[in-house]
Amino acid sequence: MTDNVFYLLQEYQNKTELEKEEVRRLKSFLTLDEDLSGYLDLYKKHNILNNITADLYAKRATENQVKSILEGYIPVNYEDYPLIVFLVLKNYKSLVKELYLFLKRFKEDLFKKIVLSPYFQGKYLTYLIKIMKNNVFFVSALIAARDVEPEMLGILVASSDSEVLFRVSNLKHILAKDISLIRQMLSNPYTPDDAVVLLKQLLFEINLACEAEKRKSESNNPEEVKENVKKEVAEKTETEAKELEDNLYQKVLTMKPVEKIKLALKGNKSARSLLIKDPNKQISLSVLKNPRITEEEIETLVKNKATPEHLIREITRNRNFMKDYNILRSILMHPKTPLEISMKYVNNLYIRDIEILSKSREIPAALKNQATRLYLTKSGKK
């Protein structure tokens, strides 16, 4: 299978031995609008199809045979992958799940071949983007290889992959053309926090430009007008962004537990702050496994006296969290910290904090007595 079918067809047109009708049918293969299964020999003759792709094209392959191809039991040529993906998507829609698992094994270089192939235009490219919107290798290839249109972004902004959403957030020149895309991303709980910052700034710039345009008649100096409305627009933009984030609460209410766990593991700060309070322990504990959670969030959590014991226990199992002195101190001061954990770490406090602990009325008596003894020993007082 040649890499560039368009180039191949151009060569055919220059050959006198090809009849006009043959060239037409070879060209028609690219559109795939009509059933040309009767001309498979012509496609094989010019290496557009081989036996496997010809069977897929003519729908002669059974679903089990197609599954065997997608699962790697039937070897296929590397150059045939774009066509195979297309033909499965076109003729074997019931195998979309298997196709997705097949595509998950690909890396960016092969995805570039696929998105640049002449087969993926219009609705078929849309189908492919919908299937692969959570695959960062595919989206990176798409962004690098093609002009990403707003319609494509309309699909990608609904991704649940934070890396995908971060890459999309950097397409400012496209997002700026459709402010609804920015709003969708800000209300998406998977949009990473660093992307949220970029999007808020972009929203501010767009709002500022619009407001300055409205008021430019107030002064002969456009920059002066822009400076005058900056604070007002900043407040308006922050309010708008906050309202979009607040919509998350309603989304979370309608989620099933399995969806909440997925969001807890991958969601942004707004999602984490909601799900950490979920009464389902499995969900709240999943938040602590989110790789994007920060020490600042953990410190805020352990300073809150309402934080339950099961979260305190889980935090103390994370060595990185316990290396942060502010977190360690707050855990020992927390009234719900299990005694065996407090007794284990009390000697790691600075003397000034041991003294504070020895005077606390919120901790168990045994811990308070131990803190008193440590303070007297370390301070040299009797």
> Per residue in 56-83, pLDDT tens?
888 889 999 999 999 989 888 888 898 8
- State both tokens at 350: 């600075």
Q: Quick one: pLDDT at residue 30? A: 55
Residues 6+ apart with CB under 8 A from 88: 56, 66, 70, 95, 99
- State both tokens at 313: 């226990």
Q: Quick one: pLDDT at residue 253? A: 84
The model's pLDDT over 126-176, given as tens digits with 9 standing for 90+, comes to: 999 999 999 999 999 999 988 888 889 999 999 999 999 999 999 998 998
d(CA 46, CA 1): 9
Please report the sign of the dihedral spanned by the C-alpha atoms of residue 169, residue 173, residue 174, residue 176.
Answer: positive
Model pTM? Answer: 0.80
Average pLDDT over residues 352-365: 91
Per the listing, tokens 């910290």 go with 337
Q: Quick one: pLDDT at residue 227? A: 66
Over pLDDT 90: what percentage of the chain? 53
Over pLDDT 70: what percentage of the chain? 85
Radius of gyration of the chain (CA): 30
Residue 208 has pLDDT above 60, yes or no: yes
In the chain, domain spans: 1-146, 304-382
The model's pLDDT over 228-266, given as tens digits with 9 standing for 90+, comes to: 677 777 788 788 777 877 788 888 888 999 999 999 999
* Dihedral Cα 34, 52, 9, 99, nearest 10 deg: 70
d(CA 36, CA 32): 8
Residues 6+ apart with CB under 8 A from 177: 150
Average pLDDT over residues 199-223: 75
d(CA 270, CA 188): 10
The per-residue pLDDT of the chain, averaged, comes to 85
Choose the weakest-confidence range: 46-60, 163-177, 179-193.
Answer: 46-60
Long-range contacts of 209-216 (CB under 8 A, 24+ apart): none
